[in-house]
Amino acid sequence: MRKQIAAANWKMNLTASQAQELAAALATGVTQVQPGQQVILGVPFPYLVLVQNKVAGNKNIFLSAQNCADKKNGAYTGETSAEMLHSISIPYVIIGHSERREYYHETHSQLATKVDLALAQDIQPIFCCGEPLHVRETNTQNVFVEKQLKESLFHLSDAQMKNFIIAYEPIWAIGTGKTASSDQAQEMHAHIRQVLASKYGNETAESVSILYGGSVKAANATEIFSKPDVDGGLVGGASLVATEFISIIESLKPGS
């Protein structure tokens, strides 16, 4: 069964008290999650344990870190390892977000290492891919995204790729108010699945949840999520408002 996922990315937002207040509202408000659906909160490092405590009684909500280091451990001041995340029972980590690629110049090989370190600690990566505006304007987005996938993920085994999570985020639609049309999202998601099938076969490709990330909100979530290869969303700004994010969760399709 391919999971349908509403994943929040809080980015570098909220104070500790605001984070706990939002987590408490979600813990209370997320009461009905259908079989095959999942809610994941991508929380800033300092708040992971605080939020974990707030949602502990809600079996529908899981936590994710927003990044991890590309080193196992050592003298890397300010970094957070996958091993550290595992030690506080964090089951997911966002890897390769466009902001990490753009602002911190993370390479495909670095991201491959992060994926490996996360999996070695039984942490499921949420692997991000997507194209900037100039690539979309030259209609080379399929080649661009395929390169991201091949150079960071294609060393994985079939067993490691089964039930993997990928988030497609057209960079030109993040925080801009622009959103890829539901047809554009479906086209790229179908392409990603085809790329995976070419390496791992249809069965594994069909098991991968592919989320859409790019100005998802309550008003457009149902239309975007209705597409057959769109398995939910990686949600930024709208996930900072409990009522808005709960509405997005309610827009998920049943698990397939």
Among 102-106, 113-117, 168-172, where is mean pLDDT lowest?
168-172
DSSP 158-207: HHHHTT-EEEE--GGGSSSS----HHHHHHHHHHHHHHHHHHH-HHHHHH
97: annotated active-site residue = yes
Q: Is the pLDDT of residue 177 over 90?
A: no
5 forms beta bridges with: 38, 232
d(CA 110, CA 98): 14
Q: Residues 6 or more apart from 136 whose CB is under 8 A from it?
A: 170, 172
DSSP 112-158: HHHHHHHHHTT-EEEEEE---HHHHHTT-HHHHHHHHHHHHHTTS-H
Residue 199 has what pLDDT? 98
d(CA 65, CA 125): 10
d(CA 42, CA 44): 7
206: annotated active-site residue = no
Ramachandran region, residue 2 (left: φ > 0; alpha: ψ -120 to 50; beta: rest): beta
Q: What is the pLDDT of residues 50-85, one digit of tens each?
A: 999 999 999 999 999 999 999 999 999 999 999 999
**Tokens in use for 16?**
């500790």
Residue 43 has what pLDDT? 98
Mean pLDDT of the chain: 96
Q: Is the pLDDT of residue 27 over 80?
A: yes
DSSP 204-222: HHHH-EEEE-SS--HHHHH
Name the catalytic one among 99, 106, 131, 169. 169
- Phi first, then psi, for residue 212 (nearest 5°) are -100, 130
Domains of the chain by range and CATH? Answer: 4-70+79-249 (3.20.20.70)
Name the catalytic one among 86, 97, 189, 191. 97
